[in-house]
Chains A and B, each alone.
Chain A
Amino acid sequence: MDCILIKESEVFAPEPLGKKDILIIGDKITRINNFINSKTLKAAGFNVEIISGKNCFAIPGFIDQHLHFNGAGGEGGPLYRTPPLQLSTLLEAGITTAVGLLGTDGSTRSLRELYMKSCSLELEGLTTKIFTGSYQIPSPVLTSDITTDLALIDKVIGLKIAYSDHRSSHASIEKLKEVISQSRIGGIISGKSGVVMIHIGEGPSRLKPLLNVIKGTDIPIQQLAPTHLNRSEQVLEESIEYGKQGGYIDLSAGVSRKYGFSTAVNPSEAVSVLFQEGIPENIITMSSDGNGVMTINDPVTGNKKPLMAPVGALLEEFVKIISSGIPLESAIRITSTNIADHLSLFSKGRIIEGKDADIILFDENSLSIQSLVVKGEISIINGQLKKKGIFE
């Protein structure tokens, strides 16, 4: 059988471990040591594939907990529905674990299609999960209800809803409590996180309803994952208060001024703001919102214009974070480790013996992906894509 030996990379677990060799057998990280001898491996019956990690950081693959891999959008009509993503787009963005979800359109878009797309990406080599629900409350489901979806469907790890947004259902606080409880119970029964991914919009209530839910119940604030919190200065401001109470803060890499979101705080700048405000780094996360789309009216032409969040934005922002002087270890936590912890993805998010072999070799000079191993398969080598989806 084949094994992979990554030689002499600077390993970040996310903690810096120094220069190490990493042995990968099957889909797992088997051994991390100062020196692993390829001859010993050959003597034990292995075919050894050696990857040079010289001048590279070895970091855990990105975990994108908000990625519209089966397409999103449809605001402004069917013209603006984004198509499903193909494997290579995710690999080139360094995403080794992706959590798919629905958005505004929970009526014509289908959780079943999302589920099958997630199965297909998994068969192509990634790790995928999905959230049940959509913006709407009551939530669309795969089975009979939110709890049952979590309990019966392997890939469902939590619930998506929207709040404080003109496209949400404007459900009452009581309804909000109910759906959060249902997701939590589903998580408890199935041994999953049951996290509720909450799209926060520009509505004036912002994060206040979430704090009301937490105040009135003994549901821990960590049950929630409010996202797009860099969408405006006001929302980011409130998220500082939210974070001070221990709540996770998810920033959207694809929601930046560069991509036309004119009121957004650029994601890497938002990280700096949160650090300055003393928010603990272990509750800050970043997801791409990749392949998501929002339609605006172009002020010049008067025509509709889609604003797309690109999948690669997570990698771009990762580079900006480390270039801004924030330690690499912190940037890894924000894009991988913290998300694994929050979503109870126990085999993910760390380069430790026994965990899944999802590793980015990141060139320390060019700050780009040199090589990528996904579940023990070499997917990018020397900057060249080695794997493609079935229809690519």
Chain B
Amino acid sequence: MALLLIKNGTIQSPYPMGKMDILVAGNKIIAIDSNISEHSVKTLDKDAAIIDANLHWITPGLIDTHIHFNGAGGENGPQFRTPPLQLSSLIRAGITTAVAPMGTDGFSRSLRELLAKSRGLENEGITTYIYTGSYSFPSVSITDNIITDIVLIDKIIGTKIALSDHRSSHLTVEELRRVTSDTRVAGLIAGKAGKVEVHMGSEEQGLTLIEKAVEGTEIPLTQLRPTHVNRNRNLFNQTIDFCAKGGVADITTSMNDAAVATSECFDQILNSKAPLSQFTLSTDGNGSMPVFNDAGDLVRMGTGEVSTLLTALRDIIANDKNSINDVLPLVTENAAKRLNLEKKGTLKTGNDADILIFSPSNLELQYVVSQGRIMMQEGELVQYGTFETPDSTK
């Protein structure tokens, strides 16, 4: 079995650790130290890969907690169903852990297909999870209900639901409380996060349903995580208050023009009472991005870009290089904590070897290591999905 030694990189664990070497064996980080002997590593394994990361940034692999890797959409008809993602698009985006929900269409789209796709991507080399449910209520499930899904299916770690959206089921506070309770109990039984992933729409009530759902119960506010909270200014302002009160929220990096840009969200958080630790970024990648007019008619259709997690990082760091210390946890450590992914999100001994190496000038991705395997080398893909070739991914 091959060893991998990454020399002299500037480590962001996501926090700054200075210049260090990282040793990887199998799918784990074995050691992070100031000087790991290259000679010793070569003696142990003459085929060991050595990467010189001098003057490069090293970060944990990105965790995208909301990405439609098996396709989404279907609003306005079947021609708007986005196709499944292939491995290369995730690797190019630096995503080594992907968590997928279903969207509007929980009826013709299938959780079983989502589960099979998640296993496929896992076999191809990244780490994946899924949410049960979809926008609608009662939640669709693979087994009897959302509880048995979370308990019996290894990859299911929470439930998806939509609120305050014209495409939601407009469920009542009591119904939302029930979904949250079921998800929480299932998480306790299974030893998983058991979080409710809440798609937020534009309806004026915004997050109040979430607050009402946990009011008067022992359920922590953090059991639900609203996403797409930068959909519009009002919702984001409300989110800042929500997170200052202990809530958690997720900002979508691929939102269209009407939304608050990720870098703007970041600045607003920094100037607020809401701690950064309450926030995560996700792509909503591969989701269809319909734009509706006031009458509720579809005006045009776009797709959530998988690469936007990286571009959002670049945008924020472009203003101030030091802000990497603040923003990187939002796509690594915070995301892992939110979903109880214990071996993910930080570079430390014993954790999964999901590692990115960036050129520092423009934050260009040079290496992607996922589960200890080099997937991208010197900016070029070296691993492909089962149905991809070097030509098909150009």
Q: Give A37 to B42 CA distance when docked, in angstroms.
A: 13
Residues of B within 8 A of A41 (CB): 40, 44
Residues of B within 8 A of A116 (CB): 151
In the complex formed, the residue of B with least CB distance to A189 is: B116
- Count of interface residues, chain A, beta-carbon cutoff 8 Å: 34
B152 touches A46 (CB 8 A): no
- Count of interface residues, chain B, beta-carbon cutoff 8 Å: 35
Residues of B within 8 A of A26 (CB): 25-28, 30
B152 touches A115 (CB 8 A): yes
A31 touches B44 (CB 8 A): yes
Top 8 A-B pairs, shortest CB-CB distance:
A45-B31, A43-B40, A44-B40, A25-B25, A1-B30, A154-B154, A26-B28, A43-B37
Report the minimum CB–CB distance from A222 to chain B (whole Å): 23
Asked whether any CB of chain B lies closer than 8 Å to the CB of A112, the reply is yes
B45 touches A40 (CB 8 A): no
Residues of A within 8 A of B112 (CB): 148, 151-152
Residues of B within 8 A of A154 (CB): 153-155
A1-B31, A46-B30 known; A28 and B152 CB under 8 Å? no
Residues of B within 8 A of A44 (CB): 23, 31, 36-37, 40-41, 44
Looking at A30, A37, A115, the one whose CB has the most chain B CB atoms below 10 A away is A30
A-B contact count (CB 8 A): 82
Type the 1/0 row for A35-79, where 1 means its CB is closer than 8 Å to any CB of B.
011001101111000000000000000000000000000000000
Q: Give A46 to B29 CA distance when docked, in angstroms.
A: 11
Asked whether any CB of chain B lies closer than 8 Å to the CB of A27, the reply is yes
Residues of A within 8 A of B152 (CB): 112, 115, 142, 153
A1-B350, A154-B154 known; A27 and B45 CB under 8 Å? no
A45 touches B25 (CB 8 A): no
Q: Give A156 to B154 CA distance when docked, in angstroms.
A: 12
Report the minimum CB–CB distance from B370 to chain A (whole Å): 16
B116 touches A45 (CB 8 A): no
Interchain Cβ contacts under 8 Å between A and B, 25 examples = A25-B25, A25-B26, A25-B28, A26-B27, A28-B26, A30-B1, A30-B25, A31-B44, A40-B40, A41-B40, A44-B23, A44-B31, A44-B36, A44-B37, A44-B41, A45-B33, A46-B31, A112-B148, A115-B152, A142-B152, A148-B112, A152-B142, A153-B152, A154-B154, A353-B1
Report the minimum CB–CB distance from B39 to chain A (whole Å): 8
Q: Give A36 to B46 CA distance when docked, in angstroms.
A: 13
Residues of A within 8 A of B45 (CB): 30-31
Asked whether any CB of chain A lies closer than 8 Å to the CB of B143, the reply is yes
Q: Give A171 to B29 CA distance when docked, in angstroms.
A: 53
Type the 1/0 row for A141-157, where 1 means its CB is closer than 8 Å to any CB of B.
01100001001111100
Q: Give A23 to B148 CA distance when docked, in angstroms.
A: 41
A37 touches B116 (CB 8 A): no
B143 touches A143 (CB 8 A): yes
Report the minimum CB–CB distance from A190 to chain B (whole Å): 8
